[in-house]
Every structure is written in structure tokens, then in C-alpha cells.
A = this chain, B = another copy of it.
Amino acid sequence: MTRVQLRLYFNRDRPIGPGKIQILESIREGGSISEAARGMRMSYRSAWLLVASMNAQFKKPVVNTTLGGRGGGSATLTPFGVEVIHRYRAMERATRRAIAKDLAVLERGLRARARKSRKKAPQAW
């Protein structure tokens, strides 16, 4: 099935898209930015910067962080952060429904792909 990605360019900020939302969801699950970063194979610094940019662009923060202490700091989603996730995922679903017909027409135009076999071809013998 065709994956559909939505990117929202507010003002002149970098867009909010699937990556930032996945970080928020990961923080919601794991309660830490470093764990979210590991799960997405990005550096702690990158994940932190993405969170900071979201915190800066909205009136209310999306993530609250507590500093250091034993075992490092923690990060928790704010109610507004939860709302951002929900709204984004709702927009994705609404988009899928809204574009379904046009998308199906393009999909019918796709060339059938020779699927790369995951198994190696058997040796001739």
C-alpha cells in the first residue's frame, strides 16, 4: 500500500512531519529523549533539537524535560503534545480518505515491480 506523508510548514519553521511526530510518540512511550533518539537511530542532539524547535514554535510546550540526576533526565509529553500527535494522525487519516480515488488511479498506472527476492537464487546443480 502506498505510504502517504504529510508535512506542515508553519511560518518559516522547519516542517512538522512524520519524523517529529514519531519522536513525540516515542517520548510518550518511553519517557526519555535519549530512548526516542536511539529508537529512531538519530543522535540525542538531533532529537533534542527537534523537540526544542517544537517547544519554541508553539505557545505551550509539547514536551517537559527534567534535568539530570541519577540515571539522567526524563521527558514527558504535555497535554498539548498529546494533542499535536492526535491532530497530526487525524490529519493523516483524513488525507488518506480525501485522496483515495486519485491515488487509486495513479496506483493502477504503476508498473508491476519485479520484487527483489530475499532468498538467493538456488545454485544450479
Encoded as 1 (CB less than 8 Å from any B CB) or 0, chain A from 6 to 41 comes to 111111100100000000000000000000000000
Number of interface residues of A (CB under 8 A): 38
**In the assembled complex, A91 has its CB within 8 A of some CB on chain B:** yes
Q: Which residues of B contact A60 (CB under 8 A)?
A: 109
Binds B, one of A44-52, A65-73, A96-104, A117-125: A96-104
CB pair B7–A110 under 8 Å, yes or no, is: no
CB pair A57–B111 under 8 Å, yes or no, is: yes
CB pair B9–A2 under 8 Å, yes or no, is: yes
Contacts from A to B (Cβ < 8 Å): 2-12, 15, 56-60, 80, 83-84, 87-88, 90-91, 94-95, 97-99, 102-103, 105-107, 109-111, 113
Pairs across A and B, CB under 8 Å, 16 listed: A5-B9, A7-B7, A8-B103, A10-B110, A12-B113, A57-B111, A58-B110, A58-B111, A59-B109, A59-B110, A59-B111, A60-B109, A80-B109, A87-B102, A91-B102, A95-B98
